[in-house]
Amino acid sequence: MASLLITANRMILSPTEGPTRVVSPGYVRIEDGVITAAGEGLPDGPDAPDVHLEDGLLAPGLVDLQVNGFFGYDMVDADETGWRTVVERLPETGVTSFLPTFITAPVEVQAAALRRTEELLPALEGRGTRILGVHLEGPFLSEKRKGAHNPAHLTDPTPEKIATLLETGLVTLVTLAPERDGALDAIRTLTANGVLVSVGHSDATAAQVEAAADAGARKVTHIFNAQSGMNHRDPGVAAQALADERLSPGLILDLHHVSATVARVVFNAAAGRVVLVTDAASAAGMPPGTYELGGEPITMPEQGPPLRADGTIAGSGLRLDEAVGNALALGVDPATAVDAATRVPADLVGRTDLGRIAPGAKADLVWLGPDHRARMTWIDGQELLGGGS
């Protein structure tokens, strides 16, 4: 694989030790798909850069831990064509790694979807965005906070059900409600098997969420959405997510799921812990119309997120580069905004070789233009989206 030298007038530098920061200018050297050098200023030596970025921002490739679907396809039942379309086109949005997300269904249906995904993976290897495993959002959720999930399939996380879902080894993240019977034992089992546990679709008290964190939970799914909140005498999931430094709150920053004011509160209260996610549904990247989420219809309106027939928000049409841009527009500093879509989610799933521009990391990069949309994307040092230099 050829070497590559990229220079940029503005670049995110995320060293192994020390804080992420913006440098002006900066450079990245790549050999065989790995970053071998990165730093502030221009590189030593006579070599001219292969790519020089005059404007915008060179950042690590974006990492999305919650993608139900995109470009017309729902990941849980997409065929090989659907999976290939999503994997090959997500770099258009700056995403270089993602967790396809399967929402609530009977455990045996989810297990079958996991086996089908396992069979598809070899054909998808190296075709585009990295697949980091699967995020199971349910079925161990609260009926009181079901959101767009089918209540008929909600259930308790028994040892047998957890064992069934772990059989393929593909599960990387599980969202569950810690107040369900058996949930704390399930969290311990999942954590012991290397699975990240996120509290979500939950009516839990702050104390119950604290107990979940004691058992090993380290994330909260789409903070403020489908969960108990911030009552000052009866704090719930959202309050504990902000107060507990062990927990990383996921945030759907489309400015529909959470207001701008509340988004600022999240970034201020959970500094360095926020994870930007899209929660994208199959309607993302598509025109208004009718699509599917978890086998049930959703409608993409002219404005706003997709909806169930009863008006319940059902995922989003958000791009992750757009979420970063929204954070910047709220006044979040660039290093923090980019970290929330790169280093923080990568570290949560144990991929410290992703989500950073530092020697030894995978050469997954994105050039965000002045409008904060992806103009150029590289995975393993290979350009998968080109918009000029």
Residue 257 known to bind ligand = yes
Q: What CATH number is associated with residue 9? A: 2.30.40.10
| pLDDT above 60 for 82 | yes
The tally of domains found in the chain comes to 2
Asked if 230 and 238 touch (Cβ cutoff 8 Å), the reply is yes
Q: What CATH number is associated with residue 116? A: 3.20.20.140
CA–CA separation, 90 vs 384, rounded Å?
10
Residues 11 and 131 in one domain: no
Residues 37 and 116 in one domain: no
| pLDDT above 60 for 387 | no
What confidence tier does 16 reach under pLDDT thresholds 50, 70, 90?
A: confident
Tokens of 210: 């604290």
Q: What are phi and psi of 241, to 5 degrees?
A: -60, -35
**pLDDT at residue number 386:** 62
Instruction: Look up 353 and say whether it is catalytic.
Output: no
Collapsed DSSP state (helix, strand, coil) of residue 238? helix
Tokens of 132: 């980091």
Average pLDDT (315-335) is: 97
Asked if 384 and 54 touch (Cβ cutoff 8 Å), the reply is no
What's the distance, Cα to Cα, between the start and end of the chain in Å? Answer: 21
Asked if 291 and 147 touch (Cβ cutoff 8 Å), the reply is no
Residues 303 and 370 in one domain: no
Residues 29 and 174 in one domain: no
Residues 158 and 22 in one domain: no
| pLDDT above 70 for 389 | no
**Which residue range(s) make up the domain with 9?**
4-59+355-385
Polymer length in residues for the chain: 389
| pLDDT above 50 for 388 | no
Collapsed DSSP state (helix, strand, coil) of residue 209? helix
Asked if 133 and 172 touch (Cβ cutoff 8 Å), the reply is yes
CA–CA separation, 71 vs 287, rounded Å?
10
Residue 153 known to bind ligand = no
Q: How many CB atoms lie within 10 A of CB 42?
A: 12
Residues 187 and 319 in one domain: yes
Residues 196 and 184 in one domain: yes
**pLDDT tens sequence across 32-78:** 999 999 999 988 777 789 999 999 999 999 999 999 999 999 999 99
Residues 180 and 33 in one domain: no
User: Residue 319 contacts by C-beta under 8 Å, 6 or more apart in sequence?
Assistant: 93, 94, 278, 280, 284, 285, 373
Mean pLDDT, rounded, of the chain:
95
Residues 214 and 322 in one domain: yes
Percent of the chain with pLDDT over 70: 99
Asked if 286 and 310 touch (Cβ cutoff 8 Å), the reply is no
What confidence tier does 1 reach under pLDDT thresholds 50, 70, 90?
A: low
**pLDDT tens sequence across 232-268:** 999 999 999 999 999 999 999 999 999 999 999 999 9
Percent of the chain with pLDDT over 90: 93
| pLDDT above 90 for 354 | yes
| pLDDT above 90 for 295 | no
Residue 233 known to bind ligand = yes
Residue 322 known to bind ligand = no
Residue 150 known to bind ligand = no
Residue 222 known to bind ligand = yes
Active-site residue, selected from the candidate residues 279, 321, 339, 364: 279
Residues 39 and 92 in one domain: no
Residues 178 and 82 in one domain: yes
Q: How many CB atoms lie within 10 A of CB 41?
A: 11
Q: Show the CA angle centred on residue 181, arms to residues 133 and 243, nearest 5°.
A: 70
Residues 246 and 106 in one domain: yes
